[in-house]
Amino acid sequence: MRGKFLFGYSGVDFFFVLSGFIICWAHRSDLGHPPALRPYLRKRFIRIYPVYWVVAIALLPIYFGLPHQLSDWLVLLKSFLLLPQANNPLVTVAWSLSSELFFYGLFGLAIYLPWRRIRPLLLLWLLVTALVYLLKLLTDGGLKLPPLSGFVFSPYNLEFAMGCLVAYLAGSVRAYAGPWLAVPGLALFLICGFAENFLQSQFGRQHSIVAYGLASMLIVWGAVLWEQRKRRMLPAFLLLIGDASYSIYLTHYALLDLTIRGSIALGIVGWMRPSMIIVSAILTALSIGVLFYLVLEKPLLGRLRKPIVRGEGLTSHSHQSGGG
């Protein structure tokens, strides 16, 4: 398709900004309040791991098979624990969950420690992260850090910070300003998407933090203000897709891959146009992802969260839906 889908990775940028907003918005009152750490960690664990493990176990015989070497066992262990690694994890898209968990851990420290102590450390970490990103831009991606340092100071962490900034600023801007933020953000996102071939030829993927991260920040900010005006006019099927976003996220890569492979094996590619096969694969992945949410994720999380709701009282108000 001549690079028409190169911009697809930009969904990760939006995901990180949205996750930063959700966690900060839901738990901002917990900062510097150590008793809130345990319920916070329990909610994050339940939100991420159980459904992920179901998908990982299902994909194990398809993409990994039986480990034969120590390196295979290490990849498998890190994959199930969502630890950062140089190799692709068992669930390919789960590399971003490792970054998500790192952000959860930093936010957990901000809950456990006095805010006046942790704030300078977080600001220093963000400053170093920003400098690393700037050097990557100036060296055309030539700056290489050791794997662990590259993970800790990954430019993607700046997008979590953008989401937190939206949570901080959302209450300081009048609700009617929503469209004035969301529309330019959406326009910037789309323009960068259309220009992705050129942008990648010039910057690799180093531009994504500025191009898609800032655009996502404006979109989320505007959407929050729009929602505060209580103008919810989204159709039910879009709300369902939003609820099922984590299931779709975890399953879509494998479903797209298996659908395309099946089309080739069955000879469908010989009589169907490539664009039709791609559309069919996308619809298949979307439909099965939603079905996975309805049949497994929703009832599973509902069962796991019951003790939390009973035992946490007022803290149970925290947002528990979506990828964050």
| CA dist., res. 157 & res. 76, Å (int) | 25
The predicted pLDDT at position 277 comes to: 83
**What does the DSSP assignment read for 158-200?**
HHHHHHHHHHHHGGGS-GGGHHHHHHHHHHHHHHHHHTHHHHH
Tokens standing for 60? Answer: 């194990």
- Contact criterion met (CB below 8 Å) for 192 and 199: yes
Length of the chain: 324
**What does the DSSP assignment read for 105-128?**
HHHHHHHHS-HHHHHHHHHHHHHH
| CA dist., res. 162 & res. 166, Å (int) | 6
The predicted pLDDT at position 246 comes to: 95
- Contact criterion met (CB below 8 Å) for 91 and 250: yes
End-to-end CA distance of the chain: 32
The predicted pLDDT at position 12 comes to: 92
CA angle 164, 46, 162 (to 5 degrees): 10
| CA dist., res. 123 & res. 95, Å (int) | 25
- Rounded to a whole number, what is the largest CA-CA distance in the chain? 65
| CA dist., res. 261 & res. 252, Å (int) | 14
163 Cβ contact partners less than 8 Å away, ≥ 6 residues apart: 16, 17, 18, 19, 20, 21, 22, 23, 24, 217, 220
The predicted pLDDT at position 309 comes to: 47
Which H/E stretch holds residue 89?
none
Per-residue pLDDT tens, the chain, 324 aa: give them. 556 677 888 899 999 999 999 999 999 999 999 999 999 999 999 999 999 999 999 999 888 777 778 888 888 999 999 999 887 888 999 999 999 999 999 999 999 999 888 999 999 999 999 999 998 888 876 778 888 898 999 999 999 999 999 999 887 777 667 778 889 999 999 999 999 888 888 887 888 999 999 999 999 998 888 887 766 667 888 889 989 999 999 999 999 988 888 888 878 777 777 778 888 889 999 999 999 999 999 999 999 987 654 434 333 333 334 445
Give the 3-state secondary structure of 15-75.
Answer: HHHHHHHHHHHHHHHHCCCHHHHHHHHHHHHHHHHHHHHHHHHHHHHHHHCCCCCHHHHHH
pTM of structure: 0.87
Q: What is the domain partition of the chain in residue ranges?
A: 6-234
- Contact criterion met (CB below 8 Å) for 82 and 97: yes
| CA dist., res. 257 & res. 280, Å (int) | 12
Reference 100, options 144, 60, 151, 145; nearest CA is 151
258 Cβ contact partners less than 8 Å away, ≥ 6 residues apart: 62
The predicted pLDDT at position 4 comes to: 66
CA angle 75, 77, 79 (to 5 degrees): 65
| CA dist., res. 184 & res. 188, Å (int) | 6
The predicted pLDDT at position 307 comes to: 63
**What does the DSSP assignment read for 209-229?**
IIIIIHHHHHHHHHHHHHHHT
